[in-house]
Amino acid sequence: MQPEFDSSETEISEQTDSGFIGFLERIPHDGLSDLLVSRVIPSILRSMRIHRFPDFTEESLKYWVADMILDRLKGSTVKRYVGALHTLYRNWHYNSRNESEEIDFSISQDIFNSNNGKRLAEIEDNLKASEKLAKLSIKQDSPAYVYNRAFFYLLFNPSASFNDILTLKFSDNIPSCPHLEDIVTSLRNAPQAKYVFQLQQGKRRNGAIIKDLISELHATARRAGIKSGDRFSRESITSIWIAAAIKEDIPLSEIRAMIPVMPEEYFFLSIIPVSEISDSRKAEIMNTVAYALTNKNPGWFVLRLRNGVSPERIKERLKEKESPLQRQIKYYYPLRVTKKLEKKRVVTIETPVIPGVLFFRLPNDRVTSLMSIIGDMAWCYRTTANPSSPYSVIPQKEMKIFQKSVGAFTVDVEMDIISELPSLQIGDKVIIEDGSSLDGQTATIRKVQNMDGTITYTLRLSDSEYIRWKDIRLPGSHLAKAD
């Protein structure tokens, strides 16, 4: 539908060869309305700079409209701005004798009629509520925990559907996102478990399970203060992801690439053309948004200490600055203990497993504060070489495997220390926990070998009763006694 035009606007006869945007940058303000001078022209020029359009096109017009709606302008106001610019453009195009085809200013009336400002404010409130939901402590053995994890799986992975939650198996490949990996790992509470989200698959019809899933996800959202009116759907969660992506300055074209079909709240973004982006870029966007959504959740990070800097010096600096971070931060600096004989005395020597590398655990939004305090004493690894990239978070699963292999533990790692369990004997049933393809499988101890204080277990396992038993060997630190 063609926008309405204000015929009272002064006609412009000045010619220019630098395109319509060059014309807007140089046009004298005498004779122009206050609407054009103070609002419309600054608004379109700002949008052109943000999205790096070299000159005015139908695509840049659509981006401008989307920007105005994101800025909470009323639909009627956006329509008036577009109409005013159209009048100015039409006069410029005619008087400059531009031979190119005139740009089509048609914008769907639905864009102008939607009450976007109120809806966008509600979505931003939902975004804040979801951050609170991420910090809630829920017992892992409760049904609420499964639905909480399902909610965040859908939030972190905007391409996942309710049916994906129902059918996702531990053996399936998932997108390369540490947050999704942590969710899957946290739900593996039984070695033989097939489905990530235990929802009585196989015992009930899929339609009935999904209906209950939607109801429980709605209840999960309501408890956190997330509002979706009387109707809760996949779009309710998708809208929160889009709000987080916009807040992180993800280009609108890439948001459209991630979510080709816009939810109702962001229907106006449908005027932005869908672009093609690589799978690696999609993963990068997914990770960026996931980090933003959980920026107050603690995660494991890595410091590379400068020459001569010790972990104790980092701790002293925080104490010197009286930083509250010293009460929040957890350190992990694994040491290898060796003994040697010096002058007829046994001397114990501690050496770092990875010299110069200090692991620490902090809420994501506190890492920048830490780095500003310690200054040039160390630098923290980021997701890419770009200095504006997020700090790199180590997935909980990988950190758990690493700590288990090293054999040193911190108080905030929820796992059993093998030395505190009953001794493993021949014939005992055990669960393999080594992070490999065997992780989570049960086996039977066949042989126990003790050589120089290092115990190695030979296990029997099979995929089914029709396959011959095969022996494997694993250290005790990779085994947990089965119930």
What DSSP string runs through 359-427? Answer: EEEEEGGGHHHHHHHHGGGEEE-BSSSSTTSPBPPBPHHHHHHHHHHHT---TTS----GGGSPPP-TT
Q: Which two tokens stand for residue 208?
A: 């009935």
Please name which of 156, 154, 151, 159 lies closest in space to residue 279, comparing C-alpha atoms: 159
Residue type at position 400: K
44/49 Cα distance (integer angstroms): 9
What DSSP string describes 2-64?
PPP--TTSPP-----SSHHHHHHHH---TTS-HHIIIIIHHHHHHHHHHHT-SS--HHHHHHH
Helix or strand or coil: residue 459? strand
How confident is the model at residue 439, as a pLDDT?
A: 60
Please name which of 116, 454, 98, 49 lies closest in space to residue 271, comparing C-alpha atoms: 116
Sign of torsion over alpha carbons 366, 368, 371, 373: negative
Encode the chain (483 residues) as per-residue pLDDT tens digits: 444 434 344 443 343 346 888 889 888 888 889 999 999 999 999 999 989 898 899 999 999 999 999 988 888 899 999 999 999 999 898 887 777 788 889 888 877 776 677 788 888 888 888 877 876 777 777 888 899 999 999 999 999 999 999 999 988 888 888 788 888 888 877 667 789 998 988 889 999 999 999 999 998 888 888 888 778 899 999 999 999 999 888 999 999 999 988 988 898 899 998 888 898 888 888 888 888 887 666 788 999 999 999 999 999 999 898 887 887 788 988 887 777 777 777 777 888 888 899 999 887 778 888 999 998 899 998 877 777 777 888 877 677 778 777 765 443 333 333 333 346 777 777 777 655 555 666 777 777 766 554 566 677 765 443 334 445 555 555 566 665
**The dihedral formed by the CA atoms of 440, 446, 450 and 456, expressed in degrees to the nearest 10:** -30
Q: Which two tokens stand for residue 433?
A: 């926990």
How confident is the model at residue 81, as a pLDDT?
A: 94
Residue type at position 191: P
328/178 Cα distance (integer angstroms): 22
Q: Which residues contact 57 (CB under 8 A, 6 or more apart)?
A: 103
184/175 Cα distance (integer angstroms): 12
Contact 103, 89 (CB under 8 A): yes
Contact 476, 424 (CB under 8 A): yes
DSSP assignment letter at 271: G
Q: Which two tokens stand for residue 107?
A: 């914008």
Helix or strand or coil: residue 342? strand
77/159 Cα distance (integer angstroms): 34
Report the Cα–Cα distance between both ends of the chain, in Å, rounded: 69
196/187 Cα distance (integer angstroms): 6
Residue type at position 43: S
User: Which helix (DSSP H) or strand (DSSP E) does residue 331 occupy?
Assistant: strand 330-332
379/377 Cα distance (integer angstroms): 7
